[in-house]
Amino acid sequence: MSKRRKNVRAIRLDQGLRQALDAQLERFRQKFGRDPGPDDPIFFDPDATEPRLLDGATVAARMVAVMKQAGVAPAIIHAYRRTGRIVTLDNVAQLSDDDLAEWQAAIEEYRTLEERRN
């Protein structure tokens, strides 16, 4: 009897995302000297001697740094910090009404904070 994974979804990868994943797989191979197994993280802590996920705070801090470097609007960065997600035209249809409301509230919160500062 074969095991079936629950809650598995297939998504299409555009060329850029596919290349990024291929590059990450190559980093894994270079770091650990083997292909990742089914329980190994693709996005791993590069300072660890064994494959392990980066902790959430490190991921969030790196994400914010990259967003700032890329010139992402401060309101979007604030909403990411508050919700842990980035809402785009590509993913908006996949989010629940509650998720979208939380995102919009974070955007509005940023605007209110900015008005108070000025």
Q: Please give the pLDDT value at position 3.
A: 54
State the pLDDT confidence band at 1, using cuts at 50, 70 and 90: very low
User: pTM here?
Assistant: 0.65
The tens digit of pLDDT for each residue in 63-81 reads 999 999 999 999 999 999 9
The tens digit of pLDDT for each residue in 17-67 reads 889 899 999 999 999 999 999 999 988 998 899 999 988 888 899 899 999
Q: Please give the pLDDT value at position 12.
A: 78
24 shares a domain with 66: no
Distance CA 110, CA 89 (A): 21
Residue 110's CB: how many other CB atoms inside 10 A? Answer: 19
104 shares a domain with 46: no
59 shares a domain with 42: no
Judge whether residue 87 has pLDDT over 90. yes
25 lies in which domain range?
10-54
90 shares a domain with 48: no
Distance CA 84, CA 4 (A): 29
Domain count, the chain: 2
